Amino acid sequence: MNDRNQSKLLQPFRIAPFFRTRIWGFDDLSPWFDFKTAGEPIGEVWLTGDQCVADSGQFAGQALNDIVRSQGAALVGKEHLGETYPLLVKVLFPKEKLSVQVHPDDAMARNYGQPRGKTECWYALDAAPGAQVALGIRPGVEGEEVRAAIHDSMLEDLLAWLPVDQQDMIYVDAGTVHAIAPGVVLLETQQNSDLTYRMYDYGRPRDLHVDLSMEAMRSHTNAGKVKPVPEKGHTKLIDVPYFRLDRFALNNSSAENALGSANGEFTDRTQVLFVSAGHATLYADGAAPVALDRCQTAIVPSSTSAWWLKSADHAEVIRIVPQPGNASK
């Protein structure tokens, strides 16, 4: 009997989103989410944040961080034990430009007493004509030029801007100076860290972290668009340290179009399932079916026995799997 069978078996569960206020966000998130606010705008919808609450299954009503602490490896797998879920998955809704910022790598974060840095990726759920993001500083620009441009409110002119189309996958490794312009809806997957050093904020009255930003930024990174790779029955979007994302098109209820424990090598890892289009139902041995509409999210624990996801009509599903980190960083 292997460790998987010896451990307690957990059921997949749907998780409710947590809506985060951001000054650059929207008052109305339709048609993506049925959410409106008369107060501070919403810029981020956290799908696996510590404050997110399970709204189906055996953990219904419990916060995700409490489930992680109580269930340990049975939920997240042995490689990702900790106090929080290993990945923070969000949907970003920028109505205005996000600040120019940079995230530290693991080594720098630990030097300042934090458990981890922040490498992330963005999958474009939607992109208007002319949408763009900034990735890195233009070649040939030196560090002191960056500092001077921050002082003179000219940093935007030094950024390398990249056009964005729907279904683009963009990798943003730690140390990459970056910014997001309006016109996109992004599914962001990142290390579960909120370490952000703000370099420039277009005159908004928020603190900047110039010295930390200069320490964290790297002149050369691996950031950029990632070409999708067709694989049997799905599309691999990205496969790097910290996370892997795949896109599945479920066209009907036939077995060959199902996504489940028999599809892939991740039976010993927790998995996040995000329905980016259509409707699907998540099944597992011994568990009640979990209905998933567009923009809903489910977590499959690492110890779940046989499970499968089907659509009676059509669904597009993004599967997100934690990966071991890069020990050299």
Catalytic residue numbers read 198
Cα-flanking dihedrals φ and ψ of residue 322, to 5°?
-65, 145
Of 131, 228, 139, the residue nearest 177 (C-alpha): 139
End-to-end CA distance of the chain: 36
In contact, 255 and 262? CB cutoff 8 Å: no
Phi/psi at 126 (nearest 5 deg)? -155, 150
Q: Which amino acid is at 60?
A: A
Q: Is the peptide bond before 31 cis (omega within 30 degrees of 0)?
A: yes
